[in-house]
């Protein structure tokens, strides 16, 4: 049931709630939860709605029933709830319209590393992938029932901020809440339509241009994609275009720099797949910010080409080195001598519960690799007492301690191997197995 328009009385104190400027899907869906959790609060709209969120906002405008910040100028504000940011600069547009009030302020935010600088605020941080998820958990605890429309809005915000629940910021609460919202009647068909944001001709044009311009650079072991594009005027919906290129090219990180000639402004949209490239920290140097893996930067009165060159140099000096083999390889490596019998090697593999081992010669140098398949070959011809050297793989794929995990992955796939001996000179220094690599992928601490 739609609510009637709000008529503000100028003689009583009011409670209000708002999110950051340029409200995105998670911000909007957080506010729809505030409206349900705290029904006496009035929602206030930013002057800017993020292009990716405008379609949803336009269709559900009556459910939000926003007022404008200027409507606050004559009000006495008793309580304020702020969602999806704890940065005063991102909510200054609202406070500029609040006068003669000393409100209680509560902030609900999920951005790690963003310290609350809103004076006097009670800060309630959370580690959910989407801020909406935390507010949904509060609704679940209170036994609140959502309508299908509110549930759809909330699920859209969660899917948007978590990459449809596959980004590394996802935690258990996000998954539990998503299931609850489906039970509440959220429409996946509508959620999908709201997230398909590359629809406009301008977006397709920019996508095609960026695909021709982007340039991959190897920086301290990271595969980083950069692009610089000059456009006549700002085009809505650039972030989804950047994310689409990220999906196609699969770099460790992507920095898209746009120079808007008409206004002489610079917009940087950045995306990362790994924790070691902390975008919030990197772009904070220029006054930008966001999440570890999604951030942006806006600068006025800059020379675009000069900034881009400076930005490339800054990145080359600022990125931390990528994770390499020496960071996670097993250093105490089980090995076997090439003169041992296949039978003894088979027994040894069973005792240590390994599927394969590096083989060393009498000088301690790597001479091969011996695994279960080699045992089967010897067993078929009744040669279990033959030396390991007769059946081992002699063309061993090996590498050095400074090989990055991206290169390790390439070698695993190219040569269809699951063990990579690591040599320092001619000495076996360690080994990276497929299990080491899978554990690395779970945490994704480097490239």
Tens-digit pLDDT string for the chain (447 aa): 444 444 444 457 899 999 999 899 999 999 999 999 999 999 999 998 987 888 899 999 999 999 999 999 989 999 999 999 999 999 999 999 999 899 999 999 998 666 899 999 999 999 999 999 999 999 999 999 999 999 999 999 999 999 889 887 899 999 999 999 999 999 999 998 888 777 778 888 888 898 888 788 989 889 999 999 999 988 888 888 898 898 888 899 999 999 999 889 999 999 998 888 999 889 999 988 887 888 899 999 889 999 999 999 999 999 999 889 999 899 999 999 999 999 999 999 999 999 899 999 999 999 999 999 999 999 999 999 999 999 999 999 999 999 998 899 899 999 988 899 999 998 999 999 988 888 887 766 444
Q: What order do you get walking across the sheet with 336-337 strand by strand?
A: 336-337, 356-360, 366-371
- Token representation of residue 254: 């992507």
Specify whether 156 is located in the same domain as 268. no
Q: 3-class DSSP state for residue 35?
A: helix
Query: What per-residue string of b and e applies to 87-114 under the rule 16 or more CB within 10 Å gives b?
Result: beebbebbbebbeeeebebbbbbbbeeb
Domain that holds residue 88: 14-195
Specify whether 42 is located in the same domain as 168. yes
The conformation of residue 420, written as its DSSP 8-state character, comes to E
Domain stops at, among 318, 352, 384: 318
The conformation of residue 320, written as its DSSP 8-state character, comes to P
Specify whether 21 is located in the same domain as 157. yes
At 205, phi and psi to the nearest 5? Answer: -60, -45
Based on the structure, what is the number of domains in the chain? 3
Q: Are 323 and 223 spatial neighbours (Cβ–Cβ below 8 Å)? A: no
Rg (CA), the chain: 28
Specify whether 226 is located in the same domain as 244. yes
Q: What is the pLDDT of residue 307?
A: 94
Q: 3-class DSSP state for residue 225?
A: strand
Q: What is the pLDDT of residue 438?
A: 85
Query: What per-residue string of b and e applies to 251-283 under the rule 16 or more CB within 10 Å gives b?
Result: bbbbbbbbbbeeeebbbbbbbbbbebbbbbebb
Question: Length of the chain, please?
Answer: 447
| Element holding 136 (H helix, E strand) | helix 131-141
Specify whether 149 is located in the same domain as 298. no
**Nearest-angstrom CA–CA distance, 64 and 94:** 17
List the beta strands (DSSP E) in 45-143.
77-83, 104-109, 122-125
74 located within any domain: yes
Q: What is the pLDDT of residue 447?
A: 42
**Nearest-angstrom CA–CA distance, 30 and 96:** 22
The CATH number assigned to the domain holding 230 equals 3.10.310.30
Q: What is the pLDDT of residue 2?
A: 47
Specify whether 307 is located in the same domain as 406. no
Specify whether 80 is located in the same domain as 176. yes
The CATH number assigned to the domain holding 437 equals 3.10.580.10
pTM attached to this predicted model: 0.65
Domain stops at, among 158, 174, 195: 195
9 located within any domain: no
Q: Are 159 and 165 spatial neighbours (Cβ–Cβ below 8 Å)? A: yes
Q: Are 78 and 15 spatial neighbours (Cβ–Cβ below 8 Å)? A: yes
Q: Which ranges of 275-404 would DSSP assign to H, the alpha helix? A: 279-284, 304-318, 325-328, 342-352, 372-380
Specify whether 260 is located in the same domain as 383. no
């Amino acid at each position: 049931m739609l609510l009637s328009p709000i008529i503000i009385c100028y003689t009583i104190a009011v409670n209000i709630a708002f999110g950051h400027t340029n409200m995105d899907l998670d911000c909007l869906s957080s506010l729809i939860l505030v409206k349900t959790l705290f029904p006496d609060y009035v929602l206030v709209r930013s002057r800017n709605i993020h292009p990716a969120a405008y379609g949803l906002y336009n269709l559900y405008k009556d459910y939000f029933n926003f007022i404008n910040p200027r409507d606050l100028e004559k009000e006495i504000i008793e309580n304020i709830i702020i969602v999806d940011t704890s940065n005063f600069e991102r909510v200054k547009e609202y406070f500029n319209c609040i006068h003669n009030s000393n409100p209680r302020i509560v902030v609900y935010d999920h951005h790690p590393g963003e310290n609350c600088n809103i004076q006097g605020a009670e800060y309630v941080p959370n580690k959910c992938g989407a801020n909406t998820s935390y507010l949904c958990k509060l609704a679940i605890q209170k036994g609140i029932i959502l309508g299908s429309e509110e549930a759809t809005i909330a699920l859209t915000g969660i899917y948007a901020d978590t990459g449809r629940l596959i980004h590394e910021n996802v935690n258990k609460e996000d998954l539990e809440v998503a299931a609850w919202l489906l039970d509440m009647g959220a429409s996946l068909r509508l959620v999908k339509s709201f997230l398909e944001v590359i629809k406009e001709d301008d977006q397709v044009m920019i996508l095609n241009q960026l695909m021709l311009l982007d340039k991959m650079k190897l920086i301290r072991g990271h595969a980083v994609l950069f692009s610089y594009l000059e456009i006549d005027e700002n085009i809505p919906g650039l972030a989804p275009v950047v994310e689409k290129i990220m999906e196609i090219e699969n770099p460790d990180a992507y920095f898209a720099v746009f120079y808007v000639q008409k206004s002489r402004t610079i917009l940087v949209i950045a995306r990362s797949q790994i924790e070691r490239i902390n975008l919030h920290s990197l772009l904070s140097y220029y006054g930008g910010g966001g999440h570890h893996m999604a951030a942006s930067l806006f600068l006025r009165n800059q020379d675009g080409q000069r900034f881009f060159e400076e930005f490339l140099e800054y990145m080359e000096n600022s990125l931390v080195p990528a994770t390499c083999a020496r960071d996670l390889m097993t250093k105490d490596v089980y090995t076997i001598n090439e003169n041992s019998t296949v039978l003894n090697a088979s027994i040894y593999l069973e005792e240590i519960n390994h599927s394969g081992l590096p083989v060393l010669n009498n000088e301690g140098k790597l001479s091969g690799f011996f695994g279960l398949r080699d045992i089967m070959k010897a067993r078929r011809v009744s040669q279990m007492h033959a030396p390991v050297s007769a059946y081992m793989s002699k063309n061993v794929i090996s590498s050095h301690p400074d090989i990055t995990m991206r290169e390790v992955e390439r070698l695993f796939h190219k040569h269809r191997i699951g063990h990579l001996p690591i040599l320092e000179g001619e000495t076996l220094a360690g080994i990276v197995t497929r299990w080491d690599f899978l554990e690395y992928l779970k945490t994704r601490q480097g490239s």
